[in-house]
Amino acid sequence: MLKSLIETNINMNISIFYEKQDSYKAIKDLTYHIGNVGIELKETNQNRQDIDIAAFTYNDAKYIRKEIQVNNEDIYFLYIYISIYAENKKELEYYLNKIEGIMQSNGMQTRRANFRQEELFLSCLPIMKNHPIVKEASRRNILTSGLLATYPFISSTIFDQDGIFIGTNIYNDSLVFIDRYNNQKYKNANICIFGTSGAGKSFYTKLLILRYKLLGISQYIIDPEREYNNLCEKLKGTQIKIGPNSNTYINILEIRQESLEDGESGYLATKIGKLIGFFNLIFGELNEEDKALIEEKLIKTYKNKNINFDDNSLYKEIKKNKKVKREFKGQNEMPILGDLYKLLGEDKKTKKFEIKLIPFVKGSMKFFNHHSNIKFNNDLIVADIYDLGEDNLKYGMYLFTDIFWDKIKENRNQKKAIYLDEIWRLIGVTSNKDVASFIYKIFKTIRKYSGSSVAITQDISDVFSLENGTYGKSILNNSSIKTFFALEEENIKILSEFANLSEKEKIEIKSLKRGECLMFVGEDHILTKIESSKLEQEIIEGEKSEKKNSNSDG
């Protein structure tokens, strides 16, 4: 009953008082009452109008006495007062009728405090005053077990002390603050954001990026749809474009110093493992023999650059001011795809792989065949891979995921986040097990590095298409915060197979408006309306927002 009240959007104060009674005196009074009413029931004419009421009170008294004597329950007096606020009398009357309807549908009686409004108002203030005049009219008996059911804080609300503002609870207008990095409350800081096009998931993602930027948290975004350029510019982030028309290059074969933490070893072994996943995307699903052949050529490619499984081979000694300084090899001292391409062509067994690398070395994607010429030294980096084209986006996504994962591991104590927009390209049917396993590893282990992975997609069916949804389900289960914007019925059916959705929640997701979402935050499930200020909206939407404002002014 209280949950139904609290989850309305009516502005009200609810005050609850409990007064513990003397159990010995209560048993004495109940026994006296039972004796008197019992005699009346035997002797009174059955045609008496209040015979049913007398019988009810008789049975209730016997039940209460038994619970006190046998089950050691205590008896209390319960008082519930409600003050309702409105802008005018008509609205106030409407709210009063609505509350009375809710109470009566739960089998509860209500009384309006006519000529006692002041006393009831005072009883609803946080001054611990239960006014005697209203007490007499509102008192009810309650046992300990019943008292527990009146605990008022049962509505799903989330108000993390150090969290950022997300929006408002649709049911009760309470503010939603979430601190996803609170490892005392949440298993991890990962987020899944699912929703159809136009439902509001992109705006919500940008809002998160904007608000966490203000907190100085490093954020890395993979942008296949060119949606984050304006935000990146406004927040003075670094935007990296790769494609046929770009002058920035990233060498997929480059081994970066941050790819291993201090105390770890095995630079080349770690790099080869990641490259096998990348070549799986290019060559198709590789069998064990193919993987062995490619690994053999990769080892030789690095050997030609004096790099081997000894980590010391990745360092060089430089003399400065008569001092010898040890430095990690530079970007131009690493092999590139063209070096591997030549070795593949020299062996009949690997000739087929050489042919498939032609576009990446000599053809439309030869920008992959360069030494890296950029540094990643900003706390907001957006990887724009839109120019790669629909069929080739997955290569750019994997490339930047690898780089950003290395950045995530740089400092375990610094909070950071990686955003994977259209993640279905990496864990869906167009991907492969090696790549999907790499993405799953990020979601599973990023917590150790004070990091957060954010999966964003509108293609639910593709997310759960690889290996019967194994990887999609794993990523969903390894996200403490799940945000579902409006979805089509077909996608809701697929999602319900992998997420714990109730029938009511399925209906709610289908009927959500733009900017509204169902959030699973830890154990809490709440309907939330995403809220933003005008300034935030202008920063996120850029020119669109300015045009809207000018049109509205006109």
Q: Which amino acid is at 254?
A: E
Range(s) within the chain of domains with CATH label 3.40.50.300: 187-247+378-554
Distance linking the first and last C-alpha atoms of the chain = 48
Secondary-structure percent of the chain, ordered helix, strand, coil, rounded to 5: 50, 15, 35
The mean-pLDDT minimum among 152-156, 347-351, 417-421, 460-464 falls in 152-156
pLDDT of residue 551 exceeding 60: no
Residues in the chain: 554
pLDDT of residue 128 exceeding 60: yes
Q: How is residue 162 annotated by DSSP?
A: T
Structure tokens at 227: 């949606």
pLDDT of residue 320 exceeding 60: yes
Which residue bears the tokens 């970007």? 331
Higher pLDDT, 313 or 51: 313
Q: Residue 154: what pLDDT?
A: 57
Q: Rounded to two decimals, what is the model's pTM? A: 0.76
- With pLDDT > 90 as the criterion, what percentage of the chain qualifies? 70
The mean-pLDDT minimum among 42-56, 67-81, 284-298, 530-544 falls in 42-56
CATH topology for 249-373?
A: Helicase, Ruva Protein; domain 3 (1.10.8)
User: DSSP per residue over 387-448, as a string?
Assistant: GG-GGGHHHHHHHHHHHHHHHHTT-TTS-EEEEEETTHHHHSTTS-HHHHHHHHHHHHHGGG
pLDDT band for 171, please (50, 70, 90 cuts).
confident
Q: Residue 304: what pLDDT?
A: 96
Higher pLDDT, 322 or 250: 250
What would the pLDDT profile of 435-480 be if each residue is shown by its tens digit?
Answer: 999 999 999 999 999 999 999 999 899 999 999 899 999 999 999 9
8 A C-beta contact, residue 257 and residue 270: no
pLDDT band for 48, please (50, 70, 90 cuts).
low
pLDDT band for 545, please (50, 70, 90 cuts).
very low
pLDDT of residue 530 exceeding 50: yes
- The mean per-residue pLDDT over the stretch 226-255 comes to 93
pLDDT band for 362, please (50, 70, 90 cuts).
very high
pLDDT of residue 240 exceeding 90: yes
What would the pLDDT profile of 183-234 be if each residue is shown by its tens digit?
Answer: 999 999 999 999 999 999 999 999 999 999 999 999 999 999 999 999 999 9
Higher pLDDT, 247 or 299: 299
pLDDT band for 549, please (50, 70, 90 cuts).
very low
- The mean per-residue pLDDT over the stretch 120-127 comes to 92
pLDDT band for 44, please (50, 70, 90 cuts).
low
CATH topology for 187-247+378-554?
A: Rossmann fold (3.40.50)
The mean-pLDDT minimum among 88-92, 243-247, 291-295, 397-401 falls in 243-247
Range(s) within the chain of domains with CATH label 1.10.8.730: 249-373
pLDDT of residue 182 exceeding 90: yes
Q: Residue 550: what pLDDT?
A: 40
Q: Residue 173: what pLDDT?
A: 80
